[in-house]
Structure 1
Amino acid sequence: MNNNNDVVVVLPGIMGSTLGVRGADGSPAADHLFWAPSGGAIWKLIRRRDSILDHELPEGIGDEHPGDGVEPVGLMPDVHAIPGIWTPLKGYDVLVNQLRSLGYHEATGDRPANLVLAPYDWRLSNRYNGQRLATVVEPALERWRAQGGPYADARLVFVCHSMGGLVARWYVEKCGGHEVTRKLITLGTPWRGATNAIEQLVNGVRKGIGPLSINLTGFARSLPSLHQLMPEFACIADGSEYLKTTETTVPELRTDMVADAMAFHTTLQEAERARADSRGMAHLIVGIRQPTNTTVRFSGGRATVSESFGAENDFGDGTVPLAGAIGHDERLDTNIAVRVPENHSALQCNRFVLDQVQELLTAAPVRRRDLSSVNVRARVPDLVVEGEPLEVDVSAEMDADAGPLAAGAVPASLEVTVHTEKGRVLAREVVAISNGGDTRASFAGLPPGTHTVTVTGTDPGAGVRPVTSSVLLWPATP
Structure 2
Amino acid sequence: MTSNDLVVVLPGITGSTLGVRGDDGSPASEHLIWAPSAGAVWKLLTGGQSILKKALPEGIGDGHPDDGVEPVGLMPDVHVLPGIWTPIRGYDVLVSALEKQGYQRGTGGKPATLIAFAYDWRLSNRYNGERLKTVVEPALEQLRAQGGAYADARVVFICHSMGGLIARWYIEKCGGAEVTRKLITLGTPWRGATDALEQLVNGVKKGIGPLSLDLTDFSRSMPSLFQLLPEYACISNGGGWAKTTEVSVPNVSTAMVADAMAFHTDLQAAETARPASRTMTHMVVGIRQPSQTTVTFQDGHAVTSQTFGSDNDYGDGTVSLTGAVGLGEALDTNLAVRVPEQHTNLQCNQFVLDQVQEILTAQPVRRREITDTNVRAVVPDLVTAGQPLKVAFDLEADDPGDDPPRKAVTVSVRDAKGKVLATAEPKLRAGHGVATFADLPPGTHTVTLAGSSPSSTVRPVTSTTLVWPEPSR
TM-score by length of 1: 0.96
Alignment partner, residue 450 of structure 1: 444
Alignment partner, residue 150 of structure 1: 149
Q: In the aligned structure 2, how far is the partner of 1:40 from the partner of 1:314?
A: 36
Whether the 8 Å contact between 2:395 and 2:404 is mirrored in structure 1 is no
Q: Offset of 1:441 from its aligned partner? A: 1.1
Alignment partner, residue 61 of structure 1: 60
Q: Offset of 1:371 from its aligned partner? A: 0.6
1:21-60 alignment runs, 5 A limit = 21-60=20-59
Q: Secondary structure at the match of 2:304?
A: strand
Alignment partner, residue 172 of structure 1: 171
Corresponding residue to 1:470 among 459, 464, 473: 464
Q: In the aligned structure 2, how far is the partner of 1:285 from the partner of 1:230?
A: 20
Q: Secondary structure at the match of 2:225?
A: helix
Q: In the aligned structure 1, how far is the partner of 2:146 from the partner of 2:397?
A: 52
Give per-residue Cα distances to partners, 1:146-202, cap 9 Å, x unaligned: 101110110000000000000000000000000000000000000000000000000
Q: Secondary structure at the match of 2:57?
A: coil
Q: Offset of 1:13 from its aligned partner? A: 0.2
Alignment partner, residue 391 of structure 2: 392
Q: How many residues align?
A: 471
Corresponding residue to 2:453 among 434, 449, 459: 459
Q: In the aligned structure 2, how far is the partner of 1:240 from the partner of 1:430?
A: 43
Say yes or no: does 1:416 pair with 2:415: no
Q: In the aligned structure 1, how far is the partner of 2:210 from the partner of 2:287?
A: 34
Whether the 8 Å contact between 2:413 and 2:446 is mirrored in structure 1 is yes
Please tell me the root mean square deviation across aligned C-alpha atoms, in Å.
Answer: 1.4
Stretch of structure 1 that moved more, 336-345 or 29-38: 29-38
Q: Offset of 1:69 from its aligned partner? A: 1.1
Q: Offset of 1:415 from its aligned partner? A: 1.0
Q: Offset of 1:432 from its aligned partner? A: 2.0
Say yes or no: does 1:104 pair with 2:98: no
Q: Offset of 1:24 from its aligned partner? A: 2.2
Alignment partner, residue 425 of structure 1: 420
Whether the 8 Å contact between 1:4 and 1:103 is mirrored in structure 2 is no
Q: Secondary structure at the match of 1:72?
A: strand
Give per-residue Cα distances to partners, 1:410-458, cap 9 Å, x unaligned: 13431111111211111111112255x4322111111100001001112
Q: Offset of 1:50 from its aligned partner? A: 1.5
1:101-140 alignment runs, 5 A limit = 101-140=100-139
Is there any run of 5+ residues in structure 2 with no aligned partner, and where?
Answer: none
**Partner amino acid, structure 2, of 1:469:** S
TM-score by length of 2: 0.97
Whether the 8 Å contact between 2:291 and 2:314 is mirrored in structure 1 is yes
Q: In the aligned structure 2, how far is the partner of 1:84 from the partner of 1:333?
A: 31
Q: Secondary structure at the match of 2:426?
A: strand
Whether the 8 Å contact between 1:4 and 1:114 is mirrored in structure 2 is no
Q: In the aligned structure 1, how far is the partner of 2:452 from the partner of 2:215?
A: 40
Q: In the aligned structure 1, how far is the partner of 2:48 from the partner of 2:408?
A: 47
**Partner amino acid, structure 1, of 2:422:** A
Q: In the aligned structure 1, how far is the partner of 2:22 from the partner of 2:79?
A: 24
Identity, % of aligned positions: 65
**Partner amino acid, structure 1, of 2:19:** G
Alignment partner, residue 235 of structure 2: 236
Q: In the aligned structure 2, how far is the partner of 1:430 from the partner of 1:282?
A: 40
Whether the 8 Å contact between 1:415 and 1:429 is mirrored in structure 2 is yes
1:348-359 alignment runs, 5 A limit = 348-359=347-358
1:66-105 alignment runs, 5 A limit = 66-105=65-104
**Partner amino acid, structure 2, of 1:418:** V
Whether the 8 Å contact between 1:40 and 1:78 is mirrored in structure 2 is no
Q: Offset of 1:30 from its aligned partner? A: 1.0
Whether the 8 Å contact between 2:234 and 2:241 is mirrored in structure 1 is yes
Whether the 8 Å contact between 2:385 and 2:470 is mirrored in structure 1 is yes
